[in-house]
Amino acid sequence: MTAGLFFIYCAITDTNSARVEQTLHKNLAQQIIHYSEDLQQGDISRTALKPAFHSLMLLGPSYEIYITDNQGKLLVYAAEPSKIKRDTINIKPLDSFIKGVNYPIYADNPRSLDQQKLFSTAPIFKDHQKIGYVFVILGGDKYDSIVKNLAFDSDMYKILAALVIFFALAFALLVFIFARLVRPISQLDQDITTFVQNDFTTVSTSTPHQYAANEIINLHNNFSSLENKIHKQLTQIKSTEQLRREMLSHISHDLKTPLASLKGYLETWLIQYPEAAGSDFIQVAQKNANQLQRLVEQIIELAQLDSNTVSLYQEPVAVAELAQDVLNKFQLQAQQKDITLSVEPKDPSLQAIADIAKLERVFTNLVDNALRHCQPGDSIKIQLQPKDNQLIISIADSGVGIPKEDVAHIFDAHFRAKNTVNGQQGNSGLGLAIVAKLLSLHHTKISVSSVLSQGTTFSFSLPTSGSI
C-alpha cells in the first residue's frame, strides 16, 4: 500500500495513476458512512455531521468531505462557506462511480467553477430510500497547494510521498480509534439491554476488548459489579417473598381445622340454647369466626395464585346467567341496605370463554366490594357489551367512589380504601388482589374508573365463544 501511495502522488497527472488512486479509495465514502451512526440512520443535518467531518479533515487534509442531496445540492461540508464556489454539482459522475464505470472518473470541484477532481462517493439511505450522497474529493486544495509549492525533484517527491503516507496513516488511525471507542461501548450497551430485558436475572459474561481504553474497562467492571449486586439482591428478595408466601399458606392451612371446630361448637350452642343468657356474645363470636374463616380462605387462595400452580379449565360460559346467579347470592343483603342489583342485558346467548368457577369468584368479589361502597338508594349493575370478538364486562356502582390517590393501589394485597361506607369489618383487602390475579390467568387485565360521590366502574374483557 505504501508503494502504491508513493506511485500515485509521484505521478498524479498520469491517467493510470489516477485510475489506481481512485480504485484504492473507491470505498472511502462508504467507510465514512459505516463509521458514522448518524449517516447510517439517514441523519444529514449540518449540526450532527459538520464537527465529525471537520475532525476527519484535520487528520486527512487531502480529503474534502461533502454531503449532497439527490440533485447534487451541497448540504453539509466542513469548509468555510467563502471557499465554496458552487452550491450544486453534477451527479452523473457520482452515479457512474457507484455503477463501477471504468476509472478514472472526475466530478465538479465545489471550490472551483471550472475544475474537476478525482473523488469517492456512496449513497445515503433513510428508510430504504436514497436521500443523497457522501462526496469525497481525494486531492483537496491543501494537497494542491503542497504540490504547487514543492519542487519536483527526487527529494521533493519523497517529502510529498511522506506527507501522503502520513495522511493515510492518520486517517487509518482515526478509523482505528473510532472503532476502539465505539465497539466496547456498544457491547456494554448490549449487555445492559439484555440484563434489563431478562428482568435482571441474567448476568453478563462478556469481557471488555483487550485494546479498550482504561475508562471503558473500568466502566465495564463497575457495571459487572452492579449487575452481580442487583442479581444477588433480587434473588434474596424473591427467596424472602417465597418464604413469606409459604409461611402464610402453612399458617392458613393449620387454622382451617380448629376454625371449623370452633364454628361447629358455636353453631351447636346457638341451636341448643337460643334463648340462653350470653347468646349475644356467642353470636358475635360466631360472626368473627366466619370473618376469620373467609380471611383464611382468601389467604390460601392468594397463595395458590401467587405460586402459579392454579389450572384453568376454560369453556363457553353464559355470562348473563352466571352474573345473575352471583347477584342472587347478595340479594338479601342488598335488600336490607336498600341497594338495587341488576344485569344488562339478560341475554343467555352472550357467551365468553372462561373458567366458570374462577369467573364466578371474580363477580363475587367485585359485587361484594361494590356493596361495601354503596349507601341506601344506590345501585350495582353488571353490564355486558360484545365488541370485536370480545365481551366487555363492567361492574358499575353509584356508591361513594374511590379517592384518586387510592385507585393505583386497590389491587394490592391487604390494601383497603379509606372511604368504605360500612367500615372495614370483615374486609381483608384481598378480594380485588384475587380478582386481578384470576383475570391474569385468563390473559386479560381489569381497569377501574371512579369519581367521588358518583360511583366506580370495574371493566375487563373476555374472548367470545365465536372467536375460538
The pLDDT value given to residue 256: 64
Number of structural domains found in the chain: 3
Cell (9 digits) for 158? 519523497
Of 266, 282, 306, which residue constitutes the final position of a domain?
Answer: 306
Instruction: Report whether 1 contacts 20 (CB < 8 A).
Output: no
Q: What is the pLDDT of residues 322-345, one digit of tens each?
A: 999 999 999 999 999 999 999 998
Cell (9 digits) for 190? 448490549
Per DSSP, 29 falls in state H
Per DSSP, 153 falls in state S
Question: Among the listed ranges 78-82, 204-208, 333-337, 383-387, which one has the minimum average pLDDT value?
Answer: 204-208
Task: Please tell me whether residues 283 and 344 are part of one structural domain.
Answer: no
**Which of 43-47, 121-125, 278-282 is predicted most confidently?**
121-125
Instruction: Report whether 104 contacts 15 (CB < 8 A).
Output: yes
287: three-class secondary structure by DSSP: helix
Task: Please tell me whether residues 24 and 63 are part of one structural domain.
Answer: yes
Establish if 372 belongs to a structural domain: yes
> How far, CA to CA in Å, does 312 sit from each of 358, 433, 439, 447?
8, 18, 11, 22
Task: Please tell me whether residues 157 and 271 are part of one structural domain.
Answer: no
Percent of the chain with pLDDT over 90: 22
> How far, CA to CA in Å, does 61 sit from each of 105, 108, 109, 206?
21, 19, 16, 38
Cβ within 8 Å of residue 462, ≥6 positions away: 319, 352, 353, 354, 359, 390, 391, 393, 442, 444
Report d(CA 28, CA 40) in Å as an integer: 15
Establish if 235 belongs to a structural domain: no
- CATH of residue 70: 3.30.450.20
Q: Hey, CA dihedral for 434, 437, 442, 446, is it positive or negative?
A: positive
Instruction: Report whether 393 contacts 319 (CB < 8 A).
Output: yes
Establish if 22 belongs to a structural domain: yes
pLDDT at 467 over 70: no
Report d(CA 63, CA 136) in Å as an integer: 6
Peptide bond just before 81 cis, omega within 30 deg = no
128: three-class secondary structure by DSSP: coil
Domain holding 109, by residue range, is: 2-184
Q: Is 359 exposed, middle or buried (0-12, 13-18, 19+ CB in 10 A)?
A: buried
pLDDT at 68 over 70: yes
Q: Which amino acid is at 207?
A: T
Q: Is 382 exposed, middle or buried (0-12, 13-18, 19+ CB in 10 A)?
A: buried
Average pLDDT, the chain: 79
The pLDDT value given to residue 423: 47
The pLDDT value given to residue 1: 47
Task: Please tell me whether residues 350 and 424 are part of one structural domain.
Answer: yes
Of 275, 306, 337, which residue constitutes the final position of a domain?
Answer: 306
Task: Please tell me whether residues 88 and 61 are part of one structural domain.
Answer: yes
Percent of the chain with pLDDT over 70: 72
How many Cβ atoms from other residues are within 10 Å of residue 139's Cβ? 22
Establish if 232 belongs to a structural domain: no
Phi-psi region of 38 (alpha: psi -120 to 50; beta: other; left: phi over 0): alpha
Report d(CA 47, CA 68) in Å as an integer: 15
- CATH of residue 412: 3.30.565.10
Give the residue carrying C-alpha cell 508503494.
Answer: 3
Report d(CA 433, CA 365) in Å as an integer: 10
Task: Please tell me whether residues 78 and 43 are part of one structural domain.
Answer: yes
Establish if 48 belongs to a structural domain: yes
Establish if 264 belongs to a structural domain: yes
Task: Please tell me whether residues 284 and 405 are part of one structural domain.
Answer: no
Of 184, 205, 229, which residue constitutes the final position of a domain?
Answer: 184
The pLDDT value given to residue 55: 63
Complete DSSP assignment for 61-104: TT-EEEEE-TT-BEEEESS-GGG---SB--SHHHHHHHHTPSSP
Task: Please tell me whether residues 301 and 328 are part of one structural domain.
Answer: no
